[in-house]
Structure 1
């Protein structure tokens, strides 16, 4: 059996903060996603793109990726599916053909307006496990843990 120093001891994933945050995030996201995936054939990344465009009209694909901290390739694929499905429109920004402007279509808004209340309900159910003081602390802790420069207005 290999002897290891504390520095090289096996990582206790069940106590490792990034792992724990990932488990909570994935579990909550998937619970919400089960609802809209079945009803609208919409993936998690596509929903997040719709939600960002509902909040911030006229973003570019790069701005969507930056606001969500999602992989640019994943955002690009999600946008391609959303545009193809008629849920997002893509136009050229002014005279700059390199920059596109993205907006929800009527179909995109219809989906958003059904999914957003479902997401809020799931959030309320999750937060109900915490008392008011714990909820306030959670908000403050998450704000402190957000990467510098990351927009927390979402």
Structure 2
């Protein structure tokens, strides 16, 4: 019988690293009263100038729609996100950052980029480029949606 060494199994390793990165970033989100799913919504909307559908956020973040829905509800209560009906389809909900949401986004981004820098500090510039290239290749090969603005 073949045995799987979990610690060398790529999906497990990626998941474990993602969990560590998320844990490290959580303190930064918490300063603004938000959690990981709420940050994902804020970040996705913050990449764009105009509104985006809730389904777009779900597809970009690969987060279950119920978690995104709860996050949007919380962000709406906090006054960071506003909902509106789509002009094209009244059943579709469009989301956008409020002025306060943009302000929180602008305050959080430098903190998170500094934390990312800290987390990646063990890699050389060449290793970072190689990691970025490998991740991009994996994202493309898996058909993940390109959510760039």
- Calculate the TM-score normalised by the size of structure 1: 0.88
What's the CA shift for 1:139? 0.9
Name 1:104's counterpart in structure 2: 97
- Is the CA contact 1:143–1:152 (under 8 Å) kept in the aligned structure 2? no
User: Which among 77, 83, 90 is matched to residue 83 of structure 2?
Assistant: 90
User: Which among 119, 124, 134 is matched to residue 126 of structure 1?
Assistant: 119
Name 1:52's counterpart in structure 2: 44
Q: Which has the higher contact order (CA 8 A, sep 6+)?
A: 2
**1:96 counterpart SS class:** coil
**Computing the radius of gyration over CA atoms, which structure comes out larger, 1 or 2?**
1
Farther-moved stretch of structure 1 (91-100 vs 136-145): 91-100
Q: Unmatched 5+ residue regions in structure 1?
A: none
- Is the CA contact 2:47–2:148 (under 8 Å) kept in the aligned structure 1? no
Q: C-alpha separation between the residues in 1 aligned to 2:85 and 2:148?
A: 26
Deviations 1:100-150 (A, max 9, x none): 211101121121111111110011112221111111110111011112142
User: Which among 38, 42, 47 is matched to residue 34 of structure 2?
Assistant: 42
User: Which among 141, 145, 148 is matched to residue 150 of structure 1?
Assistant: 145
- Is the CA contact 1:86–1:108 (under 8 Å) kept in the aligned structure 2? yes
Name 2:54's counterpart in structure 1: 61
Deviations 1:22-45 (A, max 9, x none): 1111111211111221x2220101
Equivalenced residue count is 146
Q: Cα RMSD between the aligned structures? A: 1.6
Q: Unmatched 5+ residue regions in structure 2?
A: none
**152 and 88 in structure 1: CA distance in 2 versus 1, 3 angstrom threshold:** closer
What's the CA shift for 1:152? 6.1
